[in-house]
Amino acid sequence: MKHFLLTTLVCFALIPIAIGQQLKSPNQKLQMEFALQKDGTPTYNLNFKDKAVIKTSKLGLELKNDTKSLLNDFSVIETKTTTFNENWKPVWGELATIQNHYNELAVTLNQKSTDRKLVIRFRLFDDGLGFRYEFPSQKNLTYFVIKEERTQFAMAGDHKAFWLPGDYDTQEYDYTTSKLSEIRSLTKAATTENVSQKSFSPTGVQTSLMMKSDNGLYINLHEAALIDYSCMHLNLDDKNMIFESWLTPDANGDKGYIQAPGNSPWRTIIVSDDAREILASKMTLNLNDPCKIEDTSWIKPVKYIGVWWEMITGKSSWAYTDEYPSVKLDETDFSKAKPNGKHGANTANVKKYIDYAALHGFDGVLVEGWNVGWEDWFGHSKDYVFDFVTPYPDFDVKGIQAYAKSKGVKMIMHHETSGSVRNYERHMDKAYQFMKDNGYDAVKSGYVGNILPRGENHYSQWIVNHYQYAIEKAADYKIMVNAHEAIRPTGICRTYPNLIGNESARGTEYQSFGGNKPNHVTILPFTRLIGGPMDYTPGIFEMDISKLNPENTSRVNSTLANQLALYVTMYSPLQMAADLPENYNRFLDAFQFIKDVAIDWEDSKYLEAEPGDYLTVARKAKGTNNWFVGNVNGNVQRTSTIKFDFLEKGKKYMATIYADAKDANYKTNPQAYTIRKMKVTNKTKLKQVSVPAGGYAISIIEEQ
């Protein structure tokens, strides 16, 4: 399945090279140029079909406590071009096979005044450009501290943008849609709901940043392979429309500690005049290293339910008792505590979820709040921290595991670190071994709260390294990781596919905290999902949260049909049916789609797409000839028109269509849906109405 085509052109010179170096994509639609300015400052630009994507932009790094930064005074001493083409098979994914095809330009620079070497490597794909800085082993550059990376992205206009305000600790915002020139005035409003309030600049935004130009180009800025480096934000010079990288600082204000040889992450620009091509891009994955886990047979996509939504809505609690810390308790004997009567992770309740999973064919059950310590985790008491192995007295670890095994259901562990990452690292081996001893193959980890002990930012180099350490350590124990509140993904799941999911964005839980914008899920695939799958936790059928907890007046801004469609449009090999079993029992005919929909795919087709407005996706279940379609709609009612030409010719299929009813309304009548069946072939066309925050889901099963 692999084939390679390698061609190399090396240019050596005894004198500095002054001319620009051009590179075209394999299909010739993208063209970039590298050049040095008169003062030796490296620059690049990028065009798509002769339209400017990135105007001339500067490259380089500012160093701390150094008389000369890596910004200018360079000459080119070598250029090398290479073509690469291969097909590779992901362990799980949207496609069974991914093509990795690019043309590469590696430019070796010499800084004349310091005799330092810097390599800037460009890879130009049909769908975009990736480039990074490389620091070769050399005498005059061994250890250095980055004061700031000065990578620029000069925009060709005042584009429409879908953005999150710059924040070093959270991505859990609703997206703001505006012109680039409006970011400054809108940033304050965008941060009012956030608990962190660490926006670094009135024009700072997070990646992945999605934009649309007036001349019809879709442009996405992000990074790939974020390893041993600080997360990149973007700061906008809104007078000149130039973004510049802005790295997350550590507690001391430093942006990165580098030892040569080494390299930065890839800076990525995905571009097309068709929004569907942005969604279909696999450039971020392709810029990551191949899988480093030799035996991946234990890594399996998971569809699960769990003791979670009832805590999120306030119906039940994570904590076993309300006494701590006002009454000091024995840290290993919570049997002395008075139960609060609301603890969700009790043996009887968990067994009900296990029974439900077994009855309806789910792979696993997640249980949060099973371990002691929740009484004061926000306060970070000196008397108690999580140890990740001690259960509350009403949670029978061995008994529950035996019961789950007898039902053919796997249990999913939960580790909330409360931001105390050093404590987690101290306990990690013991915690992972505890999981294996008790039959747990997957863990949901959490990092809510300030990072202890010295107030690190969640996305600084130090914490990025911790997240990576946790993934690699988990691989040693054959454990899959679903990290919440961690760094936004940058394609590392290719290298470590046991990173089976992340949160790292505003997920369904916020529907219980006041609600997400109605078009939120039409934006996330263009932004958050560029770097990897999200554990969005869809499938909420009861939109009125007060029916679960009278004290919570939030509403889910979605129709029921929209919730079904998310299992297709929000790609993830880790999918939760997040609502309570009793709510699914009220709508078992609609629940059937969640039971049927696949979580690992042979092929994916993006049928319709416009960020913020609508999205329709068709996916073929791996190992079958069955397809599933999902459509999510934004703020305006719309009629979707799709063709079934992705189906195999000559085959007949039975399609079951779950759609918004005519009177469906996400505010007043969200549970109004219709289900109808029709025979389809690859010649079938479908017109289907989706209401605001609505959509439809279709299962297409081959007739035998």
Active-site residue set = 509
Q: Which of 311, 235, 312 is nearest to 320 (CA)?
A: 311
Residue 202 preceded by cis peptide, ω within 30:
no
What does residue 385 show for φ and ψ, rounded to 5 degrees?
A: -135, 160
The enclosing H or E element of 379 equals: none
- What distance in Å separates the CA atoms of residue 412 and residue 480, rounded to the nearest whole number? 10
Interacting residues of 15 by C-beta distance below 8 A, sequence separation 6+: none
User: 305, 349 in Cβ contact below 8 A?
Assistant: no
Per-residue tokens: 492: 């590392």
Phi-psi region of 182 (alpha: psi -120 to 50; beta: other; left: phi over 0): alpha
Phi-psi region of 498 (alpha: psi -120 to 50; beta: other; left: phi over 0): alpha
176-179 and 262-263 strand pairing: unpaired
Sign of CA dihedral 563, 565, 566, 572: positive
- What distance in Å separates the CA atoms of residue 612 and residue 646, rounded to the nearest whole number? 25
What distance separates the 2 farthest-apart alpha carbons in the chain? Answer: 80
Q: Residue 110: how many CB atoms within 10 A of its CB? A: 17
Instruction: Say how many CA atoms lie within 13 Å of 54 toward its Cβ.
Output: 29
Orientation of helix 347-360 relative to helix 397-406, angle to 10°: 20
Q: How far is CA 556 from CA 524, 550, 579, 606, 669, in A?
A: 17, 15, 12, 26, 12
3-state secondary structure of 571: coil
What does residue 284 show for φ and ψ, rounded to 5 degrees?
A: -60, -45
Q: Which of 595, 538, 569, 586 is nearest to 690 (CA)?
A: 569
Q: Which of 389, 345, 386 is nearest to 367 (CA)?
A: 345
Per the DSSP assignment, residues forming a β-bridge with 248 are none
Instruction: Say how many CA atoms lie within 13 Å of 412 toward its Cβ.
Output: 31
Residue 136 preceded by cis peptide, ω within 30:
no
**What is the Cα Rg of the chain in Å?**
26
- What distance in Å separates the CA atoms of residue 232 and residue 255, rounded to the nearest whole number? 10
User: 61, 69 in Cβ contact below 8 A?
Assistant: yes
Task: Provide DSSP, 191-218.
Answer: TTT-SS-----TTEEESSEEEE-TTS-E
Place of tokens 């350590």: 473
524, exposed or middle or buried, with CB in 10 Å at 0-12, 13-18, 19+?
buried
